[in-house]
């Protein structure tokens, strides 16, 4: 079936407007490690997908899934040791205060649980988020999507950053105070409207916002301010978690301990698996109020697959790999920056890199169209990345954690070639 035939069929069966990547979409039929293969046998270095974090079709994960699916897979209202072993291992990877877990199937569901948990614990309703956030697609959680303060219970602050700061010329410590004042204003706004605060929910590295350099010290100070006002601080680790940043959790990168953490995407390497960890008292109170039950979650299958993912991260030392290869790639991209005018800023942590694409580096004019063209050209050359960020102009590089220096070098060669094609004068 040709791409055109597939597109027509897809529009009919899944609806026109179903999201699709690339101007000429690709028909992927096989994956292995960092590689994806299309129906014509063309291979691509996958530098986008964080979900298959230990690599596409990792045999250890595939076998764990196969073994458990052939042994038992039922809901969680019977006892099962597997899910307890997984909960124990997972909470042990977190800060000491995070001792109990609630499992779900998707990150959206995890954020639903976290919001409910915070509301139950605090008796509050109001949530603070950033103005370029995405935390999920349910009616409740999507109120946080690029929130415009249209819901009385949601207030968005400008996301903290150093590239296009709230005030030009402000020092990093001044920026911390400026962004904290925004948090303060949100808290005061809720209070003025008689809406008690439930908490603040953010990605600890602001991934959807475009991986900004967050003024150092903002996160722990914001957490303190939210707690002082009676709220809880929730870290959405759906993108940042599981060693993506070279640390186990994004909150280690920005230096704070959340009250509640939500996780998802890479957790099951593609098996629907997500969840929440928090202090046992928080989880108890949530359980007792909600009697939360999720048919497919906390299953033996989720547990076996989740466990296998942790096995691979540890045995293949993928945390260190993410740190090392990420640093290498960022360093090499920095060398190319001088010949690549649109690369206005290079940011990120570990194997999560954002390149701010601009049409004028001094004026920092965002160039979403240019970013899209570059992403499509890279795809043609066999490298899959995406564009994202608050303004859609950030090249998003986020390969499986098994991405190696040799793959980085292939990418850098292609990147340099495209820079030469597009911005040839300088090369």
* Residue selected from 294, 321, 387, 393 as contacting a second copy according to rule CB under 8 A: 294
Residue with Cβ nearer a second copy (222 or 267): 267
Site string for a second copy, 78-107 (x = CB under 8 A): xxxx-xx--xx--x-------xxxx--xxx
CB of 267 to a second copy, least distance (A): 10
Element (H, E) at 395: strand 394-397
Residue pair 319/349 in contact (Cβ under 8 Å)? The answer is no
* Residue selected from 40, 41, 139, 424 as contacting a second copy according to rule CB under 8 A: 139
* Residue selected from 280, 315, 320, 427 as contacting a second copy according to rule CB under 8 A: 280
Residue 333: half-sphere exposure toward Cβ, Cα within 13 Å: 23
* Residue selected from 287, 339, 377, 381 as contacting a second copy according to rule CB under 8 A: 287
Residue pair 204/245 in contact (Cβ under 8 Å)? The answer is no
Residues of this chain, 108-127, that bind a second copy according to CB under 8 A: 108-109, 112, 115-116
Q: Which residues are CB-contacts of 288 (< 8 A; sequence separation ≥ 6)?
A: none
- The closest of 317, 227, 288, 318 to 100, measured between CA atoms, is 288
- What is the separation, in whole angstroms, between the first and last Cα of the chain? 41
* Residue selected from 235, 301, 304, 372 as contacting a second copy according to rule CB under 8 A: 301
Residue with Cβ nearer a second copy (89 or 184): 89
The answer to whether residue 250 forms part of the interface with a second copy (CB under 8 A) is no
Rg (CA), the chain: 22
Give phi and psi for 168, each to the nearest 5.
Answer: -60, 140
The answer to whether residue 31 forms part of the interface with a second copy (CB under 8 A) is yes
Would you call 23 exposed, middle or buried from its count of C-beta atoms within 10 A (0-12, 13-18, 19+)? Answer: exposed
Residue with Cβ nearer a second copy (77 or 425): 77
CB of 312 to a second copy, least distance (A): 14
CB of 285 to a second copy, least distance (A): 8
Residue with Cβ nearer a second copy (85 or 172): 85
Q: Which stretch binds a second copy (CB under 8 A): 224-232, 297-305, 309-317, 341-349?
A: 297-305
Number of residues that bind a second copy (CB under 8 A): 90
Q: Strand 383-384 to strand 386-388: parallel, antiparallel, or no bridges (unpaired)? A: unpaired
Q: Which stretch binds a second copy (CB under 8 A): 20-28, 198-206, 250-258, 353-361?
A: 20-28
Give phi and psi for 157, each to the nearest 5.
Answer: -100, 155
CB of 26 to a second copy, least distance (A): 5
Residue with Cβ nearer a second copy (21 or 328): 21
CB of 61 to a second copy, least distance (A): 8
Q: Which residues are CB-contacts of 76 (< 8 A; sequence separation ≥ 6)?
A: 83, 103, 293, 294, 297, 298, 299
Q: How far is CA 37 from the centre of its chain?
A: 24
Q: Which residue has the tokens 């102009």?
A: 393
CB of 334 to a second copy, least distance (A): 30
Residue with Cβ nearer a second copy (183 or 260): 260
Residue with Cβ nearer a second copy (138 or 337): 138
Site string for a second copy, 50-79 (x = CB under 8 A): -xx---xx-x-xx--xx--xxxxxxxxxxx
Residue with Cβ nearer a second copy (139 or 338): 139
Q: Strand 274-278 to strand 100-104: parallel, antiparallel, or no bridges (unpaired)? A: antiparallel
What tokens does 340 get?
């690549």
Residue with Cβ nearer a second copy (254 or 302): 302
Q: Which residues are CB-contacts of 417 (< 8 A; sequence separation ≥ 6)?
A: 381
Residue pair 325/351 in contact (Cβ under 8 Å)? The answer is yes
Element (H, E) at 90: helix 81-92
Residues of this chain, 162-221, that bind a second copy according to CB under 8 A: none
């Amino acid at each position: 079936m040709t791409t055109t035939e597939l597109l027509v069929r897809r529009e009919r069966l899944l609806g026109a407007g179903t999201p699709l990547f690339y101007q000429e979409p690709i028909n992927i039929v096989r994956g292995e490690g960092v590689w994806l293969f299309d129906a014509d046998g063309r291979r691509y270095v996958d530098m986008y997908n964080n979900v298959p974090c230990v690599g596409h079709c990792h045999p250890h994960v595939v076998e764990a899934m196969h073994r458990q699916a052939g042994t038992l897979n039922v809901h969680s209202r019977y006892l099962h040791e597997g899910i307890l072993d997984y909960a124990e291992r997972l909470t042990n990877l977190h800060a000491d205060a995070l001792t109990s877990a609630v499992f779900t199937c998707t990150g959206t569901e995890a954020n639903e649980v976290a919001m409910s948990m915070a509301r139950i614990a605090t008796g509050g309703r109001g949530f603070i988020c950033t103005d370029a956030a995405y935390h999920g697609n349910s009616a409740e959680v999507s109120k946080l999507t690029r929130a415009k303060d249209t819901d009385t219970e949601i207030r968005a602050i400008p996301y903290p950053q150093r590239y296009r700061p709230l005030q030009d010329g402000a020092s990093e410590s001044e920026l911390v105070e400026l962004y904290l004042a925004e948090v303060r204003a949100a808290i005061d706004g809720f209070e003025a409207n008689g809406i008690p605060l439930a908490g603040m929910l953010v990605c600890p590295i602001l991934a959807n916002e475009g991986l900004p350099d967050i003024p150092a010290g903002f996160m722990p100070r914001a957490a303190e301010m939210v707690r002082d006002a009676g709220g809880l601080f929730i870290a959405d680790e759906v993108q940042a978690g599981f060693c993506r940043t070279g640390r186990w959790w994004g909150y280690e990168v920005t230096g704070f301990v959340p009250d509640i953490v939500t996780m998802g995407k890479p957790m099951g390497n593609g098996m629907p698996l997500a969840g929440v960890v928090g202090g046992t008292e928080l989880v108890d109170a949530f359980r007792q109020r909600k009697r939360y039950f999720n048919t497919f979650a906390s299953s033996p299958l989720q547990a076996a697959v989740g466990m296998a993912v942790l096995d691979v991260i540890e045995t293949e030392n993928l945390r260190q790999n993410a740190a090392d290869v990420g640093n290498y790639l960022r360093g090499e991209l920095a060398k190319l920056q001088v010949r690549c005018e649109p690369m206005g800023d290079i940011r990120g942590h570990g194997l999560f890199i954002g390149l701010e694409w601009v049409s004028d580096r001094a004026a920092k004019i965002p160039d979403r169209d240019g970013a899209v063209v570059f992403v499509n050209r890279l795809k043609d050359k066999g490298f899959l990345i995406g564009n994202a960020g608050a303004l859609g102009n950030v090249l998003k590089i986020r390969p499986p954690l098994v991405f190696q220096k040799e793959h980085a070098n292939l990418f850098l060669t292609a990147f340099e070639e495209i820079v030469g094609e597009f911005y040839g004068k300088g090369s």
